[in-house]
Chains A and B, each alone.
Chain A
Amino acid sequence: MTADELERSMRKYYKCVYSMALCYCKNPSDADDIAQDVFFKLFTYDGSFESDEQLKAWLLKCAVNRSINILKSSWHRLSRPLDEAENVSSPDSCDDGGGTLFRLISKLGKNNRTALYLYYYESFSINEIARITGASETAVRSRLARGRRQLKKLIESERNGYYGLREII
């Protein structure tokens, strides 16, 4: 890949890869590192992509893999408590509803959260999500169903006491 092609890809997909990583690891600094790792991987990758959709799926797959590595690393486990202030799922007094929703989404397990994000936010099919996350299609369907059920419960438990949320849902 040439530097021009990389720059074009980064303009188009950097934010998308960053959001995926943020969804998985909930930490902006980690998400930025992960996004740069992913595009470094792209720059040094020998293969080619048949379409933009294929490239995007590949980038998000790398982002999921890299997020798993980061969360499992001993360095991350040791340093994480020091970075609590940076955790984006903490309550926010200036929240207009979006932050509360993000906090509730963050309460879902990583696998369910990732499946919902890819399905509803990135509009991938179940087959594509299975390839991105390395899970079977059955597992993806089950994660979507479970994630929806959990999220609905979480939202219902908050909606009565929170005006911003009532407005959105």
Chain B
Amino acid sequence: MDYGKLFERAFGYITEKYPCSDHETAFRNVTERAGNMKTKKIKNKKSVVIAVSAAAAAAMTVSAGAALNWDFNTAFGELFSRRNDGLPDTQVARFTEGADESAEMRFETAKNTYTAYGFDYEKYGKELDLTFDCDGFTVDYKGMMGEGRVMYLLFDVIFDEDTDYAPKEGYTDWEPVIEYDTTDGVGREMDNKLLSVDGNRYSYYGLLIGAENMEGKDLTVKGYGLNRRRRYNPTESERYFENLNCDFYAEIQIDTENEVPRRTIGINEPLTAYDLCPVGDGSYGFKPVETVLYDITISPFTCSGNIETYGRVFEKADAYSFGSFVFTFSDGTALTETNVYSEDSFFFEFDRPVEPDDIVSVTIGEKTIMLK
């Protein structure tokens, strides 16, 4: 079979039937957009190198930590604890198969007995000490940590005393607007969460999940300001948005001198998945289907793998569900990822960091796979 000719025929036909914009229109759109952007000057732009390697990171962290008087390991430990509300309870998804080939998903409460206690965050990051002065507030990028596909940024927003920053009934908390971008990619919006409030100091963490491995890349973190919005539809005299605009850009080089510990385990075993599909009178249910799990890759912060789906077409953001992934560690503790959805590959971020070599098995749905 000549795949080259086959693709030529398919894409020749489809780009003729659905042609792209003509070059003149596309060129005009791009240059006009660039012209608008160039009128905006970036004043706040600072650079730093962050090492996800063990030895270099630790050395730099000690000196920076002493100057800033905050503890890197404690702060990132609190990040994972607070974003899970410090609760050990989790939920395990279970499927019950019925007589008509459909299945129902229900959740059972379980314990996340694995705590990540003693995890050495300093191995994977660095304090940043980048402060940006804005009109009405200051932004302090405190530290960054992570690996490859996922990075975590701790930062504070310190409001000036004369800024009207206090929580307002009917409005959300202040939400920083931040994008991130590697030099050879296109920007993505950073997912921010408020961790704590201490007077005029709001502490956040940002989650950066890369479309690709960010190791060895120059990462630009682009802050545009703070927003808060009404939780319900405002009347005509009320404002929907409140903004505090300011540019705070950081260029962060993610250095990799040592390898992040990753384990890739070849599995090649059949695995039951559950396909969300129409059942009877217009309602939807899960239908069990057979797949093959090819492999699993575990790193300190993420898990990924590849699945054979036998040509299943995934439209409208539908996917297979595999239920929960329960990881068991060598000391008998367990960590659950509640519900994993996938097309032909899956990727998720752990609720708390792990040492990949400590994991002895993973239970996916009802199937347990030994990893040692």
Q: Are B27 and A99 in contact (CB under 8 A)?
A: no
Q: Quick one: given A14-B26, A121-B4, are A97 and B306 in contact (CB under 8 Å)?
A: no
Q: Quick one: given A22-B18, A35-B20, A142-B306, are A10 and B9 in contact (CB under 8 Å)?
A: no
Q: Quick one: given A108-B311, A109-B309, A116-B3, are A69 and B31 in contact (CB under 8 Å)?
A: no
What residues of chain A lie closer than 8 Å to B27, measured between beta carbons?
6-7, 10, 39
Q: Are A116 and B26 in contact (CB under 8 A)?
A: no
- Give the contact-size bracket for chain A: 35 or more
- Give the contact-size bracket for chain B: 35 or more
Q: Are A69 and B21 in contact (CB under 8 A)?
A: no
What residues of chain B lie closer than 8 Å to A110, measured between beta carbons?
343-344
Q: Quick one: given A19-B15, A87-B315, are A121 and B21 in contact (CB under 8 Å)?
A: no
Q: Are A99 and B26 in contact (CB under 8 A)?
A: no
How far is B283's CA from A66's CA once the two chains are assembled, in angstroms?
Answer: 34
What residues of chain B lie closer than 8 Å to A40, measured between beta carbons?
30, 33-34
CB contact list, B1-25 vs A, under 8 A: 1, 3-15, 17-18, 20-21, 23
Q: Does B212 contact A (CB under 8 A)?
A: yes
Q: Does B186 contact A (CB under 8 A)?
A: yes
How far is B13's CA from A117's CA once the two chains are assembled, in angstroms?
Answer: 15
What residues of chain B lie closer than 8 Å to A45, measured between beta carbons?
183
Give the contacting residue for A6; candidates B9, B31, B188; CB below 8 A.
Answer: B31
What residues of chain B lie closer than 8 Å to A106, measured between beta carbons?
313
What residues of chain B lie closer than 8 Å to A18, measured between beta carbons?
15, 20
Q: Are A98 and B10 in contact (CB under 8 A)?
A: yes
Rounded to whole Å, the gap between the CB of B268 and the closest CB of chain A is: 11
Rounded to whole Å, the gap between the CB of B214 and the closest CB of chain A is: 9
What residues of chain B lie closer than 8 Å to A121, measured between beta carbons?
4, 7-8, 11
Rounded to whole Å, the gap between the CB of B134 and the closest CB of chain A is: 23
How far is B317's CA from A81's CA once the two chains are assembled, in angstroms?
Answer: 10
Q: Are B186 and A41 in contact (CB under 8 A)?
A: yes
Give the nearest-CB partner of A11 in chain B. Answer: B23
Give the contacting residue for B18; candidates A65, A88, A95; CB below 8 A.
Answer: A88
Residues on A lying within 8 angstroms of B by beta carbon are 3, 6-7, 10-11, 14-15, 18-19, 22-23, 28, 31-32, 35-41, 43-45, 47, 58, 61-62, 64-66, 68-69, 71, 77, 80-81, 87-89, 92, 95-99, 101-102, 105-112, 116-117, 119-121, 123, 133-134, 139, 142, 146, 148, 150-155, 168-169
Q: Are B13 and A99 in contact (CB under 8 A)?
A: yes
Rounded to whole Å, the gap between the CB of B138 and the closest CB of chain A is: 28
Rounded to whole Å, the gap between the CB of B209 and the closest CB of chain A is: 9
How far is B28's CA from A39's CA once the two chains are assembled, in angstroms?
Answer: 11
Rounded to whole Å, the gap between the CB of A71 and the closest CB of chain B is: 8
Interface centre among A3, A37, A102 (most CB of B within 10 A): A102
Q: Quick one: given A40-B30, A43-B31, A120-B6, are A32 and B21 in contact (CB under 8 Å)?
A: yes
Q: Are A107 and B14 in contact (CB under 8 A)?
A: no
Q: Quick one: given A41-B186, A110-B343, A142-B306, are A36 and B29 in contact (CB under 8 Å)?
A: yes
How far is B18's CA from A114's CA once the two chains are assembled, in angstroms?
Answer: 19
Q: Quick one: given A66-B186, A109-B344, A169-B1, are A22 and B15 in contact (CB under 8 Å)?
A: yes
Apart from the given pairs A19-B11, A109-B344, 14 other A-B contacts in the complex at a CB distance below 8 Å: A14-B26, A18-B15, A22-B15, A23-B11, A35-B20, A43-B34, A58-B184, A61-B184, A65-B186, A66-B186, A107-B312, A120-B3, A146-B344, A151-B3
Q: Are A107 and B313 in contact (CB under 8 A)?
A: yes
Q: Are A155 and B1 in contact (CB under 8 A)?
A: yes
How far is B19's CA from A19's CA once the two chains are assembled, in angstroms?
Answer: 9
What residues of chain B lie closer than 8 Å to A108, measured between beta carbons?
311
